[in-house]
A = this chain, B = another copy of it.
Amino acid sequence: MTQSSTPAASAREKARKPRAHNAPPGIDIHARAPQPAKNSEVVYRDLRRAIIAMELAPGTPIVEKEITDKYRISRTPVREAVLKLAEDRLVDVVPKSGTFVARIPLTILREALVARRALEEVTVRAATARASESQIMHLRAIIQRQQEMADTGDEKAFHRADEDFHAEIAAVGRFPGIWDMIQQIRIQIERYRRLTLPQKGRMQLVVNEHKAVLEAIAGRDADQAASRMHDHLNKLQLDIAVFRDLWPEYFIYDPALDDDLLMD
């Protein structure tokens, strides 16, 4: 098998001419976890989780020294993780001064909500077009699980089910790349969401909205599915102005775009 020249391999050989290096292993970009997790990746994930969970408040300094001591590693992988977080706009690096958990930019928040809405409308339309019966049953099962979590009041599991629902719609629509984009956008939104207090009955409302979306999918009505998804995702942006006044130090606020925050 090592030297068999299958038609699939012939094309690859052309690129391999100068060096075998030219042909990196045919690993799918989305599935390369066989390697032992790199240290920088571990630090990155831990920090990201803590920042998104608002355990590290905006403005908190990120001191590389503390992290190197905690994980018993050198600055190099720590720095790598910090740079990734900077790419995600979760930290601000001030040269020769310090690194800080980023404040939440209100204008970006507004745009993130709009962009997510647009992309999820795409995925739900595609899902409506191609959902099989089994996939619809799977979505029903997810909603049922979310209903049970809402009944027992398990917020964490509830949000896991919430994410699963949206992820499954993207998967059914066959848009894994767009789902990645949505997740990237969700990172920005998530910190804001964590500031919202658990409102009584909100979980049941979310479940009902999910049910409405699924009904439209099952009825093969793409327009209705998109519309209901739109309404569902709109619920988040109700009171940006309120939180800006409650935690002013958590946000960055650009007065030039004030009016934008109030419009749809």
A148 proximal to B (CB < 8 A): no
Tell me if B112 and A177 are in contact (CB < 8 A): yes
User: In the complex, which residues of chain B have a beta carbon less than 8 angstroms from the beta carbon of A19?
Assistant: 61
A133 proximal to B (CB < 8 A): no
Question: Interface range on chain A: under 10, 10 to 19, 20 to 34, or 35 or more?
Answer: 35 or more
Query: From A88, which residue of chain B is reached at the shortest CB distance?
Result: B87
Tell me if A249 and B11 are in contact (CB < 8 A): yes
User: In the complex, which residues of chain B have a beta carbon less than 8 angstroms from the beta carbon of A108?
Assistant: 177
Oligomer: number of copies: 2
User: In the complex, which residues of chain B have a beta carbon less than 8 angstroms from the beta carbon of A73?
Assistant: none
User: In the complex, which residues of chain B have a beta carbon less than 8 angstroms from the beta carbon of A29?
Assistant: 89, 92, 102, 105, 252
Tell me if B248 and A92 are in contact (CB < 8 A): no
Tell me if A28 and B252 are in contact (CB < 8 A): yes
Tell me if A21 and B61 are in contact (CB < 8 A): yes
In the bound complex, CA of A29 to CA of B94 (Å) = 11
A168 proximal to B (CB < 8 A): no
Q: Known pairs A15-B249, A21-B61, A35-B95. 4 more at Cβ < 8 A? A: A24-B97, A26-B252, A29-B102, A29-B105
Give A contacts to B, CB under 8 Å. Answer: 11-12, 14-15, 18-19, 21-26, 28-29, 35, 38, 57-61, 80, 83-84, 87, 89, 92, 94-95, 97-98, 100, 102, 105, 107-108, 111-112, 114-115, 118-119, 121-122, 174-178, 181, 248-249, 252, 254, 257, 260
